[in-house]
A and B are shown apart, each in its own frame.
Chain A
C-alpha cells in the first residue's frame, strides 16, 4: 500500500514545482535610474537646441526641457542666478547657451551643489553638420561635469544600407553621428557590403582604416579600406566565405566565420596594429554538423562568446581563446537558456554584460545577459524584430537595427531609460550597426 502512495506522490510531485510557461516568465527589468537629473535648457537657435535636447534626453542620466516663458524671462535678466526661483520648479540644473555670430558659450548652474560651470566658447561655422558636432561637444561637457565620465555624444556609428538596384540588391557602408544625423556614404563598391568593423586601436597599419565584408567577387571576403577611399581590397587571404569579423578590444586578434574547411567555423587571426596580419588564420572552434556565427570578444581578450546550434536551436556559447603560452581550450559553456533562439551577441566594453537578440513570443528582442547576477534581461518589447546590438564605449548605450517588412531602421537604447529611439529614416534597409570612437 505504501509503495502505491509513493507512486501517486511521484506523479503528483511535478505539479508542486514552479513550472511557468517559458514564454510567460516574469520579465525582470533592468534597474531604472529613479533620479534622472532634470535640466532646463535655454538656447535661441531652434536647430542647435534640438541637438542638445536629444543629447540631454538620451544620455541615461538626465531629462531636459525648454521654451518655458517664465524660465526664459528669468534667464534674460542680468541679475545673478537665483536658486530660489529654480528649485521649486524641480530642476536640478540650468543650462544657458549663448550664441553670437561665430561662437557658442554655455553656463551650467547646478541647483544641487550651487556650483556654476562655464564651458569654454566654441567656434561655429554656420554649417549645420559641423555646428551639430559643436553642440554634441557641449552635451559631452555637461555630461562629464555631472557624471564625471566621458559622454558618447561625439561618437560616430557605422552601418550598411541595402538598396535595390534593378533586379539586384546593393549594400554600401555608411557612417553618421550617434544620433543618426550627418549620414554619409563611405564605400562605393557597387556590390554587397555589410559588417563594418572598426580597428579598436590606432597603429601605423590601422590608422584611418576599417574593415567590412564585401561580396564583390562573389564569395564574401573581409576587406580593408581607408575612410577617405570608396573602395577597398581583400584583407585576409583565406579561401571560401569570410563573414562576421570582430576585433578583440586590444586589437591584437580578429575572430571571424569561414567555411574554408567546408563548414561554417570560428577562426582566429593574430594581428598587429602597426604591422598588420601575423601568421595564418587558426581554426578556433568547430563542432560536427553545426553552424558557428557572430563571435564577440570579452574585453580581457581571453574569452569569446559566439552563436552555435550544436545543441539544437542557436544559442550563445562561451569559450576561452588561445593565449600564446601553454593554453588548453575548455568545453564551451552555454550562456543563454531562457529563450530558444539566441543570436548576435555583443560584449559590453566593461565586460559585465552581453547584449544579444532572442526570439520571444515569435519576435526577436534585444536581451542583456548580466554576468554579475547571471540574469537574462529583456530590454525591448514591441512587434518589430530587433537584432545586431552593439555597445557604445560607456557600456550603457546600445545601437541595434529592426527588421520589419516595411522598413529596417537603427535604434538607440540605454540601460537606464530603456526607451527605444529611432535614429535613422529614409530609403534603404539599415543594418549591421557598429559603434565607433
Chain B
C-alpha cells in the first residue's frame, strides 16, 4: 500500500516540477530545448575535433586574397558541409551598375496578370527562413520550370519580416529568407546569375495591422521580374 503512494507522490512532484519549474511558458521551454540542442551539437563537434573555428589571419596580405575572389571566404569545415546546399553565392554582376547589362530594381516589375499566380508570395513562420508548406515547394518548382524555359527572365526575390523583432535584425533575417528561396530555385536548375535577392526587413509591410493575421502576411518573400530583350 505504501509503495504505490510513494511512487504516486514522486510522480506528482516530478510532474509539478516539469510543468511549473521556473514558471516558464511552454514556448520558453521549447526555446531552451532548441538552444540546448544547438549547443550540444556544437560542443559534440569540438569533442571529436571537428573544425568549427574560422580560418586564421596571419598577415596583412590576407586582406588581399586570391585575385579571382571578390572577398576572402571562411574555410570552416562545418560551413562547407552543413549548408553547402543552402548557400549559393550572389551573382557577380550587381543590378543597376553603370555599364552593366541588368538594370536597377525600378525596371523590374510586379508579375503581370498571367504570371501573378505563378510568382505568388510565399510565407514563413515566425523567425524562420524555411518553407513549411508543400504548396510553396510546388510553387518554387513551377517558377524554376518557367525560368528554365525563359532564359531571358531575371527576378528579384525580396525578403520581408513582421514588425515584432528589431529593424536591424529583420534586415538580416529578410536577407536569409530571400536567399533560401534563391537557393531552392538554383537547386532546381535556374541560372544563379538570373536571381537577385534584396532584404527590406520590416520596412515595407504588406499589411499595416498589429495582430497575428497581419504579421503572417508580412513574413513573406515577393518576386519582381525583368525580361531582357
* Contacting pair B171 A244 (CB below 8 A): yes
- Choose the segment among B56-64, B114-122, B136-144, B215-223 that binds chain A (4+ C-beta atoms closer than 8 Å): B56-64
* Contacting pair B90 A19 (CB below 8 A): no
Interface residue tally on B, bucketed by range:
35 or more
Kindly name the residue among B17, B56, B57, B83 whose own CB sees the greatest number of chain A CB atoms within 10 A: B57
A218-B198, A291-B176, A293-B169 as given contacts; A260 in contact with B90, CB under 8 Å:
yes
A243-B199, A262-B179, A326-B58 as given contacts; A293 in contact with B127, CB under 8 Å:
no
- Is the CB of B31 closer than 8 A to any CB of chain A? yes
* Contacting pair A313 B127 (CB below 8 A): yes
One of B56, B88, B204 near A262 (C-beta < 8 A) = B88
Closest to B198 in A: A219
One of A220, A293, A325, A341 near B59 (C-beta < 8 A) = A325
A260-B90, A292-B172 as given contacts; A218 in contact with B105, CB under 8 Å:
yes
Q: Which residues of B contact A258 (CB under 8 A)?
A: 71
Question: B61-88, CB under 8 A of A: which get 1 and which 0?
Answer: 0111100011111101011001100111
* Contacting pair A314 B175 (CB below 8 A): no
- Is the CB of A118 closer than 8 A to any CB of chain B? no
* Contacting pair B28 A289 (CB below 8 A): no
Q: Chain A interface (Cβ within 8 Å of chain B)?
A: 4, 7-8, 11-12, 14-15, 19-22, 162, 169, 171, 192, 194, 215-221, 234, 237-241, 243-244, 257-265, 267, 270, 278-289, 291-294, 307, 309-314, 322-331, 340-341, 343-344, 357, 364, 387-388, 403, 405, 431-432
Q: Chain B interface (Cβ within 8 Å of chain A)?
A: 6, 9-10, 13-14, 17, 21-24, 28, 31-32, 34-35, 38-39, 52-54, 56-60, 62-65, 69-74, 76, 78-79, 82-83, 86-97, 104-106, 108, 127, 129, 156, 163, 165-169, 171-173, 175-176, 178-179, 182-183, 196-199, 203-204, 210
25 contacts between A and B (CB under 8 A): A11-B13, A20-B23, A169-B204, A192-B203, A218-B196, A219-B105, A238-B71, A240-B90, A240-B197, A259-B179, A262-B90, A279-B64, A280-B65, A280-B69, A280-B71, A284-B54, A288-B79, A289-B82, A293-B172, A311-B39, A324-B57, A326-B56, A343-B168, A387-B166, A388-B166
